[in-house]
Amino acid sequence: MSNALDPRELKVLADILALVLEEHPGSSSNALDALRKRARRNAITGGALKNLFIAIAPEPPARTRARARADSAGSDGGMSTAARAQITTLTNDLRRLDRDLRTARAQGESLRAELDQTRMARATLQSQLSAMRNRAPLRNSLVAIAFVVGTLVGIASTQFVHRLELPPQTDNLPYLHP
């Protein structure tokens, strides 16, 4: 680690640490995760971070000193009421948007689960329809065969019945009268 501190890195570190110390559990845990990722990416150990704080502690950066003077000069820290109201409004908007985002993500997950269920039901219906279509030609051919066999049996039985009938009686009347 170099002796010169990058002001941007120092500001990012300060912002992350401020979030860690907030009372909101979601933002502080996210900030801790961000701090861990940044430390891993930059190969900074806990001891190096401690040394950084020790190096900063005796002599805070110029901006911090100017802010401390502004805080001690007035109770509002040089910030107007309008600015405070705007910050409060923006903070509330941010919280509302965060809540809306969480709600939208939850709805997205539920819709994704419903879509998966619908896809599974569609696949099941398609397989059942395919099975029914595969059985339909067999059923149609069985109906046709049964119709042909029934017709042949009907014709044969009709012929059989006609053969069993008694021969037609001849009229003997012409033989009786000479």
120-156 pLDDT, tens digit each: 999 999 999 988 887 777 788 889 999 999 999 999 9
Tell me how far apart the alpha carbons of residues 54 and 33 are, in angstroms, rounded to a whole number. 23
Question: What are the boundaries of each domain within the chain?
Answer: 1-78, 83-161
Looking from the CA of 139 toward its CB, the CA atoms found within 13 Å total 6
- Across 155-163, average pLDDT: 88
Q: What is the pLDDT of residue 118?
A: 95
Tell me how far apart the alpha carbons of residues 38 and 11 are, in angstroms, rounded to a whole number. 13
How far is residue 25 from each of residues 39, 49, 174, measured CA to CA in Å?
21, 23, 126
**176 or 3, which is more confident?**
176
Query: How do residues 65-120 score in pLDDT, each as one tens digit?
Result: 555 555 554 555 556 888 888 888 888 888 999 999 999 999 999 999 999 999 99
Query: How do residues 13-40 score in pLDDT, each as one tens digit?
Result: 777 777 666 666 677 677 777 777 877 8
Q: What is the pLDDT of residue 148?
A: 96
DSSP label at residue 61: -
Residue 54 has phi, psi (to 5 degrees) of -65, -40
